[in-house]
Amino acid sequence: MHRCLIFLFTIVLCGAAEPTSKTNVNLQQILKRFPAADSNRDGILTLAEAKVFQQKRREREANRPQLKPTHEDIAYGTHARHKLDLWLKESDRPTPLLVCIHGGGFRAGDKSNYHRQVNLIKRMHAAGISVASINYRFTEGGKNPLPIAMHDAARAVQFLRHNAKRFNLDKTRFAAAGSSAGACISMWLAFHDDLADADSDDPIRRESTRLIASAPSGGQPTISPVTFREWFGVKSLVEHPAMRAIYGLTGEGSIENWTPEIAERARISSPITYLTRDDPPCYQTYGSANTPVTEKTRPNEWVHHPHLGIRLKEAMDKLGIECHVQYKDGPPIKGYGGADDFLVKKLTGK
């Protein structure tokens, strides 16, 4: 929700002077999702009201309680973004680990986002599970196109496994969760073949990257524009502002110029590419309803649309892999009280 609000405000503030929800589609969307932003309750959201609402949300976010990690800014690689935080559960036996991956369109965000996920961390600790939060390289200026972020996350998993004794971790019980871009990365890790290189001179690279479960939120099983259009049944989509960067494109032009290089990058960066029947269970969550997507649907809506999760579930069902999709007005999920409960049961085996 917070991610969506920032995205919408960014566009509003770049638009015409003093728009209202009567004339500006972005303010209409904000009013629809956040009725409380209309402070005088006249049914019309002004830019001034939107700014005040945004500031109040920022203040509330800043004042949210935080849980300091047991270990902070641990380097798992050589790049400045190769850092992770750990909230270790004290235990006389090795603990399972949940690896959390932040969102931000592959070009923003930080592992510190999870410092405020106090309830999540406490829930995991209560079940005997440790938690990690990782950073990864951003796609920017034509550099670090996907799947570099995915390989960074894989390296973090290998680093944690290599240091399992140091941190008292059960290296056989790792799972991942994340939102938006982090959700995409968590699925990629879950479905990709093991990246362990037994012949590597680097002992970290010899470690497994496999997971026993994933719980993506607002995720993208594919990053292919072609597949997006096919799944939504539309001829075109409003291009997401992060899309060209993830392909390493700069300057003018469009990803619609479907070169073999772009097609291959889409293939190797899309989680569903690697889906096979030996992959772990997945619990997906989406915040919106499964409403139709059109050629005018806002990019921040279609890129986090539950239909993406439904298509992944269809593919996983065919392979006999456990998969759940939780979304607004969707069917109830049997056997679990939500994504956190799913993770606890998979990581503890209880």
For residue range 303-312, list pLDDT tens digits in order.
Answer: 999 999 999 9
230, 211, 116, 147 alpha-carbon torsion, rounded to 10°: -50
Residue in 254, 215, 216, 230 with CA at minimum distance from that of residue 302: 230
Residue in 58, 52, 47, 60 with CA at minimum distance from that of residue 18: 47
Paired strand residues for 143: 140
pTM of the predicted model over 0.75: yes
User: Which amino acid is residue 49, in one-letter code?
Assistant: E
Per-residue pLDDT of the chain (350 residues; tens, 9 = 90+): 444 444 444 444 444 457 898 888 778 878 877 888 888 889 889 988 888 888 877 767 667 789 999 999 999 999 999 999 999 999 999 999 999 999 999 999 999 999 999 999 999 999 999 999 999 999 988 899 999 999 999 999 999 999 999 999 999 999 999 999 999 999 999 999 999 999 999 999 999 999 999 999 999 999 999 999 999 999 999 988 898 889 888 766 566 666 888 889 999 999 999 999 999 999 999 999 999 999 999 999 999 999 999 999 999 999 999 999 999 999 999 999 999 999 999 999 98
CATH 3.40.50.1820 fits 71-348, yes or no: yes
Element housing 245 (H / E): helix 243-246
> Can you give the residue ranges of every domain in the chain?
2-63, 71-348
What is the per-residue pLDDT for 235? 93
User: Which amino acid is residue 293, in one-letter code?
Assistant: V
Paired strand residues for 98: 131, 175
Cα 93 to Cα 169: distance, rounded to the nearest angstrom: 8
